[in-house]
A and B are shown apart, each in its own frame.
Chain A
């Protein structure tokens, strides 16, 4: 028993934390805590009951999610649209960010030219560009994809610059000494040592892409998880808003876990550090 606990301590404590949180939440919505503390706090205790219209509750959210997934199936269309925006946006961000970052890391002069932009873009909240994007391309799919690109490209490019800058100079000497041409030097030394940085950039990009989904769909979008949440919010359908939050969280965690799997496979050579 004790051994089982020690082996799974992390998972067990995590589960306990989540369950405690859900019970606490449900209790506020159903007035459990108000009832329980009535003798102690008197009339003040009523404040511990919160209206579901504001905080919903785990069981209500579960029911709404069940409906949206299995009964009406409404969420699939939103999921599809948001997924499309996300895939296009992140793919474009990778296609721009990785070559740009690697090149800026390698060619000092290019980095001098590019760095002011990266720094400036990094210092501004990128969602501030949304009104401009709408002005330029309208509120359609293009706008929503571009805001995701704008958000996701930075961590990818910055990770790629760092990747090249930290390549072991001794390995570059080895390649040069064997008369490797630039393409081979890139393929055999720079790319393999860049993997951890590129994946770290991709992980950040996933999170920022999720922000992009929600922000991009605020204006004039009829479909998508963000649009659904926005509309549900304005109709006080709190349960649905939470379902949207949950959907994004699940998708984000899933993607990050997928990246971790890739990393583990590509980086299988790395010495395992004892946990």
Chain B
């Protein structure tokens, strides 16, 4: 008997109603996905293929047109404390300090102030921001803001972490640093992670499995196991095995990326 997946998406479909034209836009076209407990799964796909939409459905922020999301076999209908999102833009509350932002999720869940403060401080230390507790977001670099974003999600101790291109806006060096750090935290915290990115090397470096989305409307094109042992020093990115996997995934999405680029050119013209 096979174990039950921690998270399961069954044939998720979603169309947006476009207010301007009144027509429906298909964003997701039957996404099927199973993630086991403690697994780190990355989704890659061209921009606009519905990755953020899929994540929002999994979090329960938007309802799918058809299909369902199961966590531990139970259907998801709304956001819950078993899942937390690390948002694409840091989306920090600008009027709250680092500590205040990290506490935010706990306040929403009604955790007592004292306990919330203590837990938030621990998380601030875990993501390496000790000494910055009382800084405001605008006083932080992009990388530090994303650390706060990560701590804010981790502090509620979710079983599943949903990450939406959290490092996309960072410079290359900071990004690599954050990737290493994320693996360190993940290894310690043992969470199930669904990580969205449009960068193939990021997906390969982080994940146990890379799921490739097709261009819009998004659906799963292929799922590739990353058989690179952990812990992974940043140097694995330069191994031949890594490059071979990179090429394989690139072949899968190349066509969609080019189609998308053509569409964009047409849209501009």
Contact = CB atoms under 8 A, between A and B. Distances in A.
A269 B104 CA distance: 17
A188 B105 CA distance: 11
Interface string A164-176: 0000101101111
Given A171-B91, A171-B93, A188-B93, A177 B104 contact: no
Contacts of A178: 79, 84, 104-105, 108-109, 156
Interface residues of B, number: 25
Contacts of B136: 269, 271
Contact of A179 (B91, B94, B97, B109): B109
A37 interface: no
Contact of B87 (A173, A184, A189, A192): A173
Interface string B73-86: 00000111100110
Contact of A170 (B79, B87, B138): B87
Interface string B58-76: 0101000000000000000
B107 interface: yes
A188 B104 contact: yes
B107 A188 contact: yes
Contacts of B94: 269-270
The winner among B81, B105, B109 for most chain A CB atoms within 10 A is B105
A147 B257 CA distance: 63
Interface in B115-166: 136, 138-139, 156
Contacts of A170: 87, 89, 91
A187 B8 CA distance: 35
Nearest to A266: B95
Main secondary structure of the interface of A (DSSP, over half): helix
Nearest to A169: B91
Contacts of B85: 174, 177
Contacts of B84: 177-178
A53 interface: no
A188 B93 CA distance: 9
A182 B1 CA distance: 44
Main secondary structure of the interface of B (DSSP, over half): loop
B149 to A, nearest CB: 9
B93 A177 contact: no
A178 B106 CA distance: 8
Contacts of A184: 107-108
Contact of B79 (A176, A189, A193): A176
A36 interface: no
A173 B87 CA distance: 9
Contacts of B104: 174, 178, 188
Contact of B61 (A171, A173, A189, A269): A173
B93 A189 contact: yes
Nearest to A178: B108
B61 A176 contact: yes
Contacts of A46: none
A19 interface: no
A177 B109 contact: no
A180 B105 CA distance: 8
Contacts of B80: 179
A52 B194 CA distance: 82
Nearest to B88: A170
Interface in A248-275: 267, 269-271
Interface in B211-233: none
Contacts of B61: 173, 176-177
B16 to A, nearest CB: 15
Given A173-B91, A176-B61, A178-B109, 15 more contacts: A173-B61, A174-B93, A176-B79, A177-B79, A177-B85, A178-B105, A179-B78, A179-B80, A179-B108, A188-B104, A192-B95, A193-B95, A267-B95, A269-B97, A269-B138
Interface of B: 59, 61, 78-81, 84-85, 87, 89, 91, 93-97, 104-105, 107-109, 136, 138-139, 156
Interface of A: 168, 170-171, 173-180, 184, 188-189, 192-193, 267, 269-271
16 contacts: A170-B87, A174-B93, A176-B79, A177-B79, A178-B79, A178-B104, A179-B80, A179-B81, A179-B109, A188-B107, A188-B108, A192-B95, A193-B95, A267-B95, A269-B97, A271-B139
